[in-house]
Each structure stands twice: as structure tokens, then as C-alpha cells.
Amino acid sequence: MANSAAAGFDIDIEEVEYLRHGDRPLMARIFKPRASGPFPAIIEVHGGAWNLMDRTADDAVNAPLAKSGVVVAALDFRMPPLAPYPASLADINYGIRWFKAHAGNFGASPDRVGLMGSSSGGHQVMVTAMRPDDPRYCALAFPSGAPPVDAAVRCVVMLWPVIDPLARYRFVKQLREAGKPYPDFVDLLIKMHDRYWKGEETMAEGNPALALKRGERMVLPPALYIQGTKDIVHPRADLDQFVDNYRKAGGHLELEMVEGEAEGFIIRRPSSESAIRAIGKIVNFVHEQMR
């Protein structure tokens, strides 16, 4: 098992079209250890408040994870204004199934596949893992004759996820309603929530934290949750409640609170001591769960 983020493979990076909507291709950025494998795999989902950025956003995490001996497939997916919720979840669900069906082409094992995501991507990988068979998320069919593949995963890594979209939306709205000065992110996040979710009803429905509270029947794969103690974009109260309820529901969840760090610290400062330690934690967790 790898025990540090510096563990040892050279990697190749390949861009592959995994899905097409009309004339719009969706790409996967594949990080492959330069060896025969088969390796475990992680499907990675970028953040950006469900509206921004692309598959290259989290290269600072994906590359060292691949160098430890994990194939990483970072996905693009539909975002507003092209499509609101749940279109991105349908693309991600399809991406998992597509990767499993083609795992051998990338030197990966189809039965050792997990998920990782940051911020809004962290939300999306958690709700995808909880609901691998949701008809809305499984809405995109494979080509006729293709073997059936499911979207179940072995583990989930969440980096500062928007774990309760409705609570976060109400939190930033309260900051704005209190009047200026308020943090610069407030207006942007309200706009991004509105564009993706189209209303509080869907924020409540597509919500990992509230799904646990509602007692929904769901899958609870082993999870790693990483967040900085100075993160004000992803409210700590939402984290604490989710972690407690996930464990009470029988799920295994490892929480790593990184002292003194704000949101996005691994991506913004990948060479910092905190980022290097956090990446090491991700590497160890993934290899442990993929044995």
C-alpha cells in the first residue's frame, strides 16, 4: 500500500471523450500510472459552485494520486446555462459506468472504482455514491448491446464539499440580508445556487445531509472528508451534522480537519505542508479502501 503522496510512478495524461450530447463532447482527463496494472481508479469531479471550472481544476490532487498507483479520470459534465440539476448527476453516473466498461483500456480494475470531488464536486460525488441506481441519475443509457454496468463505488473522498446545499444557500443569503460589508463570495454563490438548483425544493431533494435526516434508503460507502478549520464558504455546522448522521446510519467516515486552512487550500497551495499532508491522507485512504 502506498504511504505517501510522493510514491512512485511516472504518469501519462490522456484526454478522452466519454459522452456526447448532440454536438457537444464531454471529456475525461485520464491520469495513468506508467505500468501494467491493473490499478484501482478514482472518478474525480471538479468544484466551481456547480457552474464554473472544468476537468483540469483539480490537477494538483489528481496527479499525485495517480503517481501513487491510481488511475484518475477527471470528468467534464453539463453545467448551467446548458443544463441545471440533475443533468450533471446523470453525466457523472454515466461517466462511472463508462469508465468501468472501459477500465481495461486504462490499466484499471473495474471492481475497484471510487469517487473524489471538491466543493460542489464533493456534493455531487456523495449524492452519486448514495444513489447509484436513482432513475434520474441513471437516465443516460449505454449503446445497444453494451454489457450492463452499475455506478456503485468502493469509496468516496470529499474535499470541502457543499454537503448541505440548502443550508449553505440560506447561510449566504443571511449574510447578504445583514447588509454590507459582507464577504465577496456571497453574491456569486447565491447566483450560482440559483442557476443550478432553480429553487429551494431541489436543493432539499438533491441533498446528502437531508437525505440522511429523512432516513432514505441509500448506499453508504466508506468516506474521507477533508476541510480546513478556517473555511467560511462551507459552514462547519453542516459538516458536523453530516458526519454525525453518516456514522449513526452505519457509514464509515474519516474526518480530517486541517488546522488554519481555508477553502480550496490543496488546489491553491499544493506545495504547502498542509496540502502535502492532506494529499498523503487521500492516497492512504484510497489504497486502503481499494485493497
**Which CATH number goes with the domain that contains 263?**
3.40.50.1820
> Which stretch of DSSP H or E encloses residue 33?
strand 24-33
Strands 39-45 and 108-118: parallel
Judge whether 91 lies within some domain: yes
Judge whether 207 lies within some domain: no
Q: How does pLDDT run across 160-187, given as a tens digit for each residue? A: 999 999 999 999 999 999 999 999 999 9
Average pLDDT over residues 56-83: 98
Judge whether 81 lies within some domain: yes
Q: Reply yes or no on whether the pLDDT at 1 is more than 80.
A: no
Judge whether 189 lies within some domain: no
Average pLDDT over residues 223-230: 98
Q: Tell me, what's the pLDDT at 122?
A: 98
Q: Indicate the number of domains in the chain.
A: 1
Q: How does pLDDT run across 3-41, given as a tens digit for each residue? A: 344 458 999 999 999 999 999 999 999 999 999 889 999
The predicted model scores a pTM of 0.96
Q: How does pLDDT run across 109-121, given as a tens digit for each residue? A: 999 999 999 999 9
Judge whether 176 lies within some domain: no
Of the candidates 34, 81, 79, 86, the one whose C-alpha atom is nearest the C-alpha of residue 206 is 86
Q: Residue 103 corresponds to which cell in the numbers above?
A: 477500465
Judge whether 169 lies within some domain: no
Q: Reply yes or no on whether the pLDDT at 263 is more than 90.
A: yes
Judge whether 198 lies within some domain: no
Query: The domain containing residue 222 runs over which residues?
Result: 11-163+218-289
Q: How does pLDDT run across 100-158, given as a tens digit for each residue? A: 999 999 999 999 999 999 999 999 999 999 999 999 999 999 887 778 899 999 999 99
What is the biggest distance separating any 2 CA atoms in the chain, rounded to whole angstroms?
A: 58
What lies within 8 Å, CB to CB, of 21 at 6+ separation is 78
Q: Tell me, what's the pLDDT at 7?
A: 57
Q: How does pLDDT run across 267-286, given as a tens digit for each residue? A: 999 999 999 999 999 999 99
Q: CA separation (Å) from 32 to 106, 148, 268?
A: 7, 25, 23
Average pLDDT over residues 37-52: 97
Rounded CA-CA distance 147/144 in Å is 9
Judge whether 173 lies within some domain: no
